[in-house]
Amino acid sequence: MVTILRPIRFSSRIQTALHPGTNKDKGNGGEIQWCFSQVKGTVEEDVTEADIISCVEYNSDGDLLATGDKGGRVVIFQRDKASRVAVPRRGEYNVYSTFQSHEPEFDYLKSLEIEEKINKIRWLKRTNPANFLLSTNDKTVKLWKVTEKDKWFEGYNLKDEGGVMKDPSTITTLVVPAFRPKELTVEACPRRIFANAHTYHINSISVNSDQETYLSADDLRVNLWHLEVTDQSFNIVDIKPSNMEELTEVITAAEFHPTECNLFVYSSSKGTIRLCDMRQQALCDQHAKLFEEPEDPTNRSFFSEIISSISDVKFSHNGRYMVTRDYLSVKVWDLHMDSKPIETYQVHEYLRSKLCALYENDCIFDKFECAWSGDDRHIMTGSYNNFFRMFDRDAKRDITLEASRENTKPRTVLKPRKVCTGGKRKKEEISVDCLDFTHKILHTAWHPQENILAIAATNNLYIFQGKD
């Protein structure tokens, strides 16, 4: 039996107070007007593979923003203090810390190269002056501690200034060591390394609401870890058949519920989402609820199974809903109703006629992420040609915007973009045949409290904010 608490519905005034900045940045009849704030990254056309951003994640209060890249590096940005208190507020971030999280490895037993690419980053909630985050590549999860140091000890009795031990016979007086101020430095050190638990590539990590455990998921298994224990994990989902020839689906994403520590979901390549309750049994192969929408027979094609694969699943902040992303659409599910989604938004339906070409260039296997706004009223996801899509759940409106360096003047309002599928094309429209499939928005993040977006476009990180 799954018990899900029904959230209290607040009035719009109270909702605004709870989520400052999420509703006030609206114009045009309540629609958010997005404007350019910053772009981080190089302008050069020759982008190295290692510099391509592979994940983006805000921490719980939005003051820190972490990105991981294919070169195994993690770059943390900190929100500029002046931009946080400015009127109007600005979403501006500066580089806070950069460190190498993962290195390339080679599995000699399987003759397999293990890439250093960062697949996912997840922050832990802050409980002391230090910040903690989890980062993972295909095989190994690491817990990093990020600390600030602006003081140093001076006046050691047994060591000289170079750190060399003194001869005790030369010490004639005792001094009291004292703190001295120094230039601020940010240090990142690995506190835990969780390795050797996954046979297949890790696609998801998610921190539990108890802040003591987390899950990691690969194609066939989901493991539960304790943050203090590195040498063992508990297998909570295993869909590997006894005969691999009978394999019909793989796990594509997994996430813990934001408030109920016993609940988690995992999605599959067949377009299903399974809600599991760890109170029912230790091994959660038998799901508590199955969310699945039957396919429309009129849209059945050779590519149906590929495009129905779910690339991302995210719980809403209030824990009542889930959003899932497949290749062509975004769907919102109510946890109380597993028969069908309550909302479906088409991301780029105009590509349905292009699926054959997308299959040939492998774009059909791209895994797009999605994100909730802080008040759960909007959803964001990416598309091709550096376009990203915004869906207003209340007004049932959608808009297409572009992450481009052409309009990088601060506070410049982004102009909506439209894709023309045929016939006469208007001046501001772009033909579907002219879309650039090498430029894609796969990784996005929405500030948890304000209308500030982080959009990863190849090796560039764009910051957009709602216009006051």
DSSP one-letter string for 398-442:
EEEEE--GGG-STTPBPPP-EEE-SSSPPTTEEEGGG--TTSB--
pLDDT of residue 7: 43
pLDDT of residue 35: 93
Residue 132 has phi, psi (to 5 degrees) of -125, 140
Q: Which amino acid is at 222?
A: V
Q: Reply yes or no: is the peptide bond before residue 177 cis, omega within 30 of 0.
A: no
pLDDT tens readout for residues 407-450: 778 888 999 999 988 777 777 789 999 999 999 999 999 999 99
Domain membership flag for residue 224: yes
Domain membership flag for residue 423: yes
3 state DSSP class of 454 = strand
Domain membership flag for residue 175: no
- How far CA 111 is from CA of 142, 194, 242, in Å, comes to 23, 21, 24
Domain membership flag for residue 445: yes
pLDDT of residue 96: 95
Domain region containing 119: 29-145+194-466
pLDDT of residue 201: 95
Domain membership flag for residue 165: no
Domain membership flag for residue 433: yes
CATH code where residue 450 lies: 2.130.10.10
pTM: 0.86
* pLDDT less than 50: residues of the chain: 1-27
Tell whether the torsion through CA atoms of 24, 27, 31 and 32 is positive or negative: negative
pLDDT of residue 456: 97
pLDDT of residue 22: 45
pLDDT of residue 13: 36
Domain membership flag for residue 19: no
In contact, 368 and 387? CB cutoff 8 Å: no
Structure tokens at 432: 């579907």
pLDDT of residue 30: 63
Strands 460-466 and 34-40: antiparallel
pLDDT of residue 86: 84
pLDDT of residue 156: 76
Integer Cα distance of 228 and 162 in angstroms: 35
What is the tally of structural domains in the chain? 1
Domain membership flag for residue 161: no
In contact, 104 and 115? CB cutoff 8 Å: yes
Ordered DSSP codes for 140-182:
-EEEEEEEEEEEEEE--SSB-TTSPBPPGGG-------EEEEE
In contact, 348 and 384? CB cutoff 8 Å: yes
pLDDT tens readout for residues 109-135: 777 889 999 999 999 999 999 999 999
